[in-house]
Structure 1
Amino acid sequence: MLCRRAKTIMNNMNKRILFLSVITLVIATIGLAQVTYRLFLPVVQQGLAIPPEDDAGTRLQVAMDYAVRLYANGLNRPRLMAIGPDGSLYVAERGANRIVRLPDLDGDGKADQVIAVATNLPGVHSLEWYGTDLYAAGNATVWRLRDSDEDGQFSGSELAIVVDGLPNDGGHSTRTARIGPDGMLYVAVGSKCNITVGCSEGDPRRAAILRYTLDGGIPADNPFANDPDPRRRAVWAEGLRNSVDFIFLPDGRLWATHNGSDGLGNDLPPEEVIIEVEPGRHYGWPYCYTAEIGAVPAGAQEVRDERVPLDATFSSCAQATPARFTDLAHYAPLGIARLADGDVLIAYHGSWNADETPRDCRVQRIRVSDGTPVSSEPFLIGFRDNPQQECGSAWGRPAGVTVAANGTIFVSDDRNGNIYRIVPSSR
């Protein structure tokens, strides 16, 4: 009798629980129906799902407490990326001269599709959102794209040329544009040559970071705003052979990656992984380089590259500002991004012509303490088949790094056309 009564009570309780659950679900559904699309989408995007193990996750090794999976593939030389106002990942697909959007609407950790949002952008390399405007930089041009009709596409009438006619002959054709905390447009332009011996650079905008207004004008407070050569007026800092990417720190400082010269052997010059770029400064190339490995001590002075004679404009290495952090030669640092804890991730593109031991292609983590880079360690490895392989022939080669607001890390691979997604794991 007691058992039968207890069973009846339990059945009634279960019915009440089921009824309350249904009511709760209805209320929740009504509540969700009142949430706008723009508010709901980031909630979906913030679900840090880890898809089942795939070939990329099996091959690549990421730092402890993280998991890496393939996010998208089949792209043509994807380079730098940006997270849009809609929470989607946007990629500069340099090999296809277009910008693509890679949404993950169902929050499963994989791109749902590849959507071309802008095409016919020669050599598009970098992306930067500023409000609802998207700034993109190509071989000789910086564009501003504005989706005025909110259809998710950028038509011809919604594309404006902000800066045009950037020097584009010779080597180092990528251009990177970022918008600083001062609301100004900064553009990195690489050198024409490895070193100037046998090749005249000519244009002062090369091997430099330039600074413009958002409409392409010359800010009055540029360090060379009144220079007799109108091309030099845009120069913010010089002596930067090839700063492929750069970021602004919360305190406004600018940190740039830098690719040094070839031809001095397997170990020289050290790769200047982080340079703190300040207005009007010269960072040594092609006359001098930072010789220390790792964290560069205060008071360090650059040393001479004897292949290049000094001249009237640059008479001593004392005029050069050393890097803040270096690594072994030929690592070829490209994309850079900052983590929430202040550390920095840099895509090492790796060597293609090292004289002796090839340098790895990987993503490196630079540890930062009190605003100063102090040490480094591998974060994502496994792109080569063996330690003797040059990265020019490796399975993959990282190029860009982007960190979303929810901590998701995206890495582009311009060798095999992949985008990798890295999130914290419980392992």
Structure 2
Amino acid sequence: MTPLHRLGLAIVLAAACGVFFAAKPEPVTDEAARRIRLSPGFAIQIFAEGFEGAPRMMTVGPDGHLYLTLMYGGQVVRLPDRNRDGRADGVEVLAEHLELPHGLEWHQGWLYVALSNAVIRMQQKGATWQRETVVADIPGPSGHFTRTLHFGPDGKLYVSVGSETNFGPERDPRRAAILRYNPDGSVPQDNPFARDPDPRRRVVWAEGLKNSVDFTWTGRGALWATHNGTDHLGDNLPPEEVIVAVQPGGFHGWPYCYTPGLGLNLKAERSEVPDPRTDGFDCRKAVPALFTAPAHSAPLGMAWGGSQFPLEYRQSLYIAYHGSLGVQNPEQYRDCKIERFIIQNDLPVRSEVFATGWREPGQMCRDAWGRPVGLVVGSDGAMYVSDAKGGRVYRIWYRGK
């Protein structure tokens, strides 16, 4: 008897007994499953595909569905999986014609969305989605134009804004920084520069961060951010500052300083960038990175392990490496992958590859089959990964060894 016949017989018997159930389908062996290599026991499948607008950041709504920004498409979409088969039922467009939407997150019944020049929030009213502007004057889309937002444990709105150039210093103090607002867009009075003579600086929470594409909080409330640093010092300098322990009111080094060495940094060291524009800045005053990797690794999205993962993986931090274009030597091209960071005593003590295979050996990630960007844990406890290059969203879950 074939498996299909056995399933049919089981359904008939269940119906005869007055019992009805939904059979859980087996995972589809699709292109992602064939290409991507994962840590033992994990599986991957394409959750949604065919996006042309560069899928970037994701969040999970109070309805349990996945929400996604299509940056170049100017859209915010919802990807429901109502039958729980591991594939999106379709793509529901909630907003369009937006200015490079990137970060998004739900807070108190509102879906907040970071645009390149503003923060808006959306709320469903009947069959339509109404929107209003929360912050109207985010520095514009020149230079690094992605904007990411999250709400912290304190209920405040945090927004990362990248630098205007690859060399600095910045003309606007709100660039190369993480900003902090009240949910209505006003300035919290406990911001470190809330009484600064320059009104633009009053929303700054932390400075000297060239391009922190994503950030998160640890279980003890520490703010950790990824960081894409200086590009013009060759293939191997400066080390990529993969995890920065962001300090309120702190200056984190860019464009004057970088953190030397690779891996966990416990020496609190900083080195100067050999550039005449440093103007004698004392790098000992800059906050060093907590963990570094080879230059041009391009760390982007980050997330903690999913509740469906085994305990040791659930307590790890995951970061998507986009694979930068800044390396000239083909033998040193950086991989587009997902790294797992093992946390001990609230420190990222080491990392290991969690998912890889989007590119061929010797291939730059810009030419690869895909490049991971955003990470988020779904309502099912699995991890979802956006791929701006391939126009896909993947689902990673633990199948068991």
TM norm structure 1 = 0.85
CA contact (8 A) 1:50 1:69 kept: no
Which runs of 5 or more residues in structure 1 are unaligned?
A: 1-17, 30-43
C-alpha displacement of 1:353? 2.9
CA contact (8 A) 2:57 2:104 kept: yes
Q: Which has the larger radius of gyration?
A: 1
Is 1:334 aligned to residue 300 of structure 2? yes
CA contact (8 A) 1:92 1:99 kept: yes
Indicate which of 177, 201, 204 corresponds to 2:149: 177
Bigger helix share: 1
Distance 2:15 2:380 in 1: 33
SS at 2:112 equivalent: strand
Distance 2:30 2:298 in 1: 28
Indicate which of 93, 96, 102 corresponds to 2:73: 96
Distance 1:170 1:89 in 2: 29
Map 1:17-96; keep pairs closer than 5 Å: 22=17, 25=19, 51-75=27-51, 76-96=53-73
Is 1:368 aligned to residue 343 of structure 2? yes
The equivalent residue for 1:287 is: 256
SS at 1:96 equivalent: coil
One-letter code aligned to 2:56? R
Indicate which of 124, 131, 147 corresponds to 2:124: 147
Number of aligned residues? 379
Map 1:243-258; keep pairs closer than 5 Å: 243-258=212-227
Deviations 1:369-427 (A, max 9, x none): 121101001111111122x1111111111111111243211000000101111111134
Map 1:3-402; keep pairs closer than 5 Å: 22=17, 25=19, 51-75=27-51, 76-149=53-126, 151=127, 153-154=128-129, 158-196=130-168, 201-297=170-266, 299-311=267-279, 315-339=281-305, 341-356=314-329, 357-386=332-361, 388-402=362-376
Deviations 1:171-219 (A, max 9, x none): 10000111111111100000011112xxx52100000000011111111
One-letter code aligned to 1:403? V
Aligned-residue identity in percent: 45
Is 1:414 aligned to residue 388 of structure 2? yes
One-letter code aligned to 2:321? Y
One-letter code aligned to 1:164? A
SS at 1:274 equivalent: strand
Distance 1:57 1:223 in 2: 47
The change in CA–CA distance for 1:235 and 1:260 in structure 2 (over 3 A counts) is: same
Distance 1:69 1:422 in 2: 7
Deviations 1:23-63 (A, max 9, x none): 6x3xx89xxxxxxxxxxxxxx9xx98652201111011111
SS at 2:278 equivalent: coil
Which runs of 5 or more residues in structure 2 are unaligned?
A: 1-12, 308-313
C-alpha displacement of 1:300? 2.2
Deviations 1:71-128 (A, max 9, x none): 1001120000011111111111112101111111111111110111111221000111
SS at 2:351 equivalent: strand
TM norm structure 2 = 0.90
CA contact (8 A) 1:353 1:390 kept: no
One-letter code aligned to 1:118? A
Distance 1:80 1:344 in 2: 17
Structure 1 vs Structure 2 CA RMSD: 2.0
Distance 1:172 1:56 in 2: 30
